[in-house]
Homo-oligomer: A and B are copies of this chain.
Amino acid sequence: MAEKLFSITEPVPYAGKGGGEELAFRHYDPEEVVDGKTMAEHLRFAVCYWHSLCWPGTDPFGGPTFDRPWFKDDSMASAKAKADAAFELFSLLRAPFFCFHDADVRPDGGGFAQSRANLEEMTDHLGALMETSGVKLLWGTANLFTHRRYQAGAATNPDPEVFAYAAATVKDCLDATMRLGGENYVLWGGREGYETLLNTDLAAEEKQLARFLHLVAEHRHKIGFKGQLLIEPKPQEPTKHQHDFDVATVSGFLHRHGLDKEYKLNIEAGHAFLAGHGFEHEIALAQSLGLFGSIDMNRNDLLSGWDTDQFPNSVAACALAYYEILRGGGFGAGGTNFDAKLRRQSIAPDDLLHAHIGGMDTCARGFKLARRMLADGRLEQLRRERYAGWSGELGADLLAGRLDLDAIAKLVAERGLDPQPKSGRQELLENIFGNISVE
């Protein structure tokens, strides 16, 4: 079935900038070696299962637009057909990784036991497809937000039975992720938040959430899962207000509960924007706090107020993101997951190829530009020069706490300090960035 879905049967070739074929990479050559690693190894692309294989094209005002064979029923057979199509897609795109939720890959069993059995059977099926294709698992996760039992949250649900159900589900997903060799496990608390403060106990929910995350961390150690545990912040949607609002919020939470050694962060471009931050800000902040883990690459329509999850198309935006990643040493276990979906009108199966090719080309250009920015060195040099005063005697004394306020005031008064401002040179820096050519 999957063979007939797409117009091509061979992996998307790298055709270079001068090429003329439509379904070809123009900038991303997975095998190109840069700094001793292939581009595939640098970027660690993952295709997400949910948007590309499961989402039917619905929006709040419209029904399904996509017509995929596996949408015809919710059987195990359809789930397997979907998995086969998924790996066909991954292979055509030469994507080294994929990501999934339990609910993406297995039919709901109508209860915990059958859902678990379905997941186990599908884990075997996925494992076989991974073996054959060589595609690896970047991360697995549990869907704790679609089913109505989670309408008021999972870990933060007012009903402890829902907490238990969610915890049991995470156990199964983490076990499955380990079995499939997943390099990370992600927790996105989509409904861990509230619709109205009037029915919400913030302190109680924080306590529940902390307990939940401790359980997961303990289980990770118990089973010897070597991957990273990642929390994915988002400020709102579907809830009015989500506990894991942004990087700074999650950092505070992890510190308050002794979890900062157990979790790192999976940062999504669109979520950063919804929280009022640039994507590069969230990455840079996570790096400075030692919490950077992985990214969900996408873009939001900046004139729309919801999460549009589009494929990235701005080389500059990707460059600024990868620049902060590279400044911190690049990805470890993390990678570039396309948490991005087709536009609802893009109903041709080949649109899935066009979308990912565009996204991968854009990321590759952004990554190469980021490398040139680092190699060029002027940006870092200007940054260092700006703070150079802190390496002097006064700066060192201040930072070391050798002067108290009285001593400082005495010094300022006696020396008649009258520091003069210096240009922040923003336009020059933007020009340097703009003029570093990627190609």
- Interfacial chain B residues near A422, Cβ < 8 Å: 152, 158-159, 347
Give how many copies assemble into the complex. 4
- Interfacial chain B residues near A163, Cβ < 8 Å: 395, 398
Bound complex: CA A303 to CA B164 (Å): 32
In whole Å, how far is A310's beta carbon from the nearest beta carbon of chain B?
A: 9
Pair A305/B305 contact, Cβ less than 8 Å: yes
Q: Check: A374 CB closer than 8 A to any chain B CB.
A: no
Pair A288/B202 contact, Cβ less than 8 Å: yes
- Interfacial chain B residues near A273, Cβ < 8 Å: 303
Bound complex: CA A414 to CA B191 (Å): 26
- Interfacial chain B residues near A179, Cβ < 8 Å: none
Pair A237/B65 contact, Cβ less than 8 Å: no
Q: Check: A372 CB closer than 8 A to any chain B CB.
A: no
- Interfacial chain B residues near A168, Cβ < 8 Å: 405, 408-409, 411-413
Pair B160/A390 contact, Cβ less than 8 Å: yes
- Interfacial chain B residues near A362, Cβ < 8 Å: 434
From the candidates B147, B164, B195, B306, name the one contacting A343 in the complex (CB within 8 A): B195
Interface size class of A (residues with CB under 8 A): 35 or more
Pair A167/B351 contact, Cβ less than 8 Å: no
From the candidates B241, B307, B389, name the one contacting A161 in the complex (CB within 8 A): B389
Pair B379/A198 contact, Cβ less than 8 Å: yes
Near B by CB (< 8 A), chain A positions 228-275 give: 235-238, 240-241, 245-246, 248-249, 251-253, 255-256, 273-275
Bound complex: CA A424 to CA B191 (Å): 13
Pair B305/A347 contact, Cβ less than 8 Å: no
Pair A275/B276 contact, Cβ less than 8 Å: yes
Bound complex: CA A61 to CA B150 (Å): 11
In whole Å, how far is A341's beta carbon from the nearest beta carbon of chain B?
A: 10
Pair A399/B208 contact, Cβ less than 8 Å: yes
9 further contact pairs, Cβ within 8 A, besides A152-B424, A236-B276, A348-B425: A60-B60, A111-B418, A112-B413, A152-B422, A162-B419, A168-B412, A248-B248, A277-B303, A314-B314
Q: Show 6 A/B contacts (Cβ-Cβ < 8 Å), sorted by A.
A: A17-B435, A65-B148, A65-B151, A171-B408, A200-B383, A241-B281
